[in-house]
Structure 1
Amino acid sequence: MKLNRFFSSIVFVVLSFQAVSVMAQADVINQVKETIQAGSAKELSKYLNQTVDVTLEGTVQSYSKAQAEFVFRDFFKQHPPEEFNIIHQGSSRGGQPFAIGQYKSGAETYRVFMKIKPVNNQQLVHEISFAKE
């Protein structure tokens, strides 16, 4: 009976950690969504890893968080957001969270893909891509 309670406790703890992790992923994705909708590179940079892989219109580059802020500031100036929605979010087979969205600016539509990575108990964007549809 004690062994059964012990295993039940372990299962509860594991499920609790998973639930907290899923909530943290959803929270960072929602926060990133709001910053992209607002076209705020400064706010977006708060959710970026120290180094982030950025793909804009086919050009892939690895930037520091500060550099990425300037890159996104220029992108949002050239392509001001009219609408941004998350279409799908989940986790890869390896457990890495991701989200796919659609960004609209004028007549242009972009598919946005971002990978989230846990860093020091924080969920941060490790990779983000804006590709024209």
Structure 2
Amino acid sequence: MNRIIMFLKAKSIGLLIGILWATLSCFTPTADPTQAIGVSIQSGEAHQLASYFDKDLELRIDPVGVDFASVQAGQAELIMRSFFRKYPPLRFRTDEQGSTPHLRYATGTYWSGSRSFHINVLMRQATPGQYRIHSIQVNE
């Protein structure tokens, strides 16, 4: 009986360490934020998306007439929240993504009702391994 209990404790500790390792690896600065950004867009979560914004970014949203060469992250979050309210997400698909040593980009298609939008996201390296959104463009 004691051997079984010791075996179960060892298995539990191993499982706990595995879960902790997987959780911490999600937050490493080298993790690619592209998937999390896609999830934020898919769910229409402006606040979650804004957590990846650079301090200032380019924001162009043709369907609502937004065209800023530079806007502060807080203002960009409010604008994205307004876009998501006006065009609630039905689904989002990442169409293409790529990177260079200091840049990452992703393009995707966002559907809201019967309308579809093409979204481009450009990220710049802020610190080694950490990328921030520098530009978002939305076109119908």
1:74 is matched with which residue?
82
Question: Deviation of residue 44 (structure 1)?
Answer: 0.7
1:83 is matched with which residue?
91
Task: Verify the 8 A CA contact 2:102 2:124 in the aligned structure 1.
Answer: no
Equivalence map 1:92-107=2 (5 Å):
96-107=103-114
Aligned residue pairs, count? 109
Matched letter for residue 61 of structure 2: L
2:59 is matched with which residue?
54
Question: Deviation of residue 95 (structure 1)?
Answer: 5.2
| CA RMSD between the two structures | 2.0
Can you give the 5+ residue segments of structure 2 that lack an aligned partner in the other structure?
Answer: 1-27
Task: Verify the 8 A CA contact 2:96 2:107 in the aligned structure 1.
Answer: yes
1:33 is matched with which residue?
38
Separation of aligned partners in 1, 2:109 and 2:94? 7
Separation of aligned partners in 1, 2:76 and 2:104? 21
1:120 is matched with which residue?
127
Bigger-Rg structure (1/2): 2
Normalized against structure 2, the TM-score is what?
0.71
Runs of 4+ in 1 over 6 A off after TM superposition: none
Paired-residue identity, %: 28
1:111–1:120 CA distance, 2 compared to 1 (3 A) = same
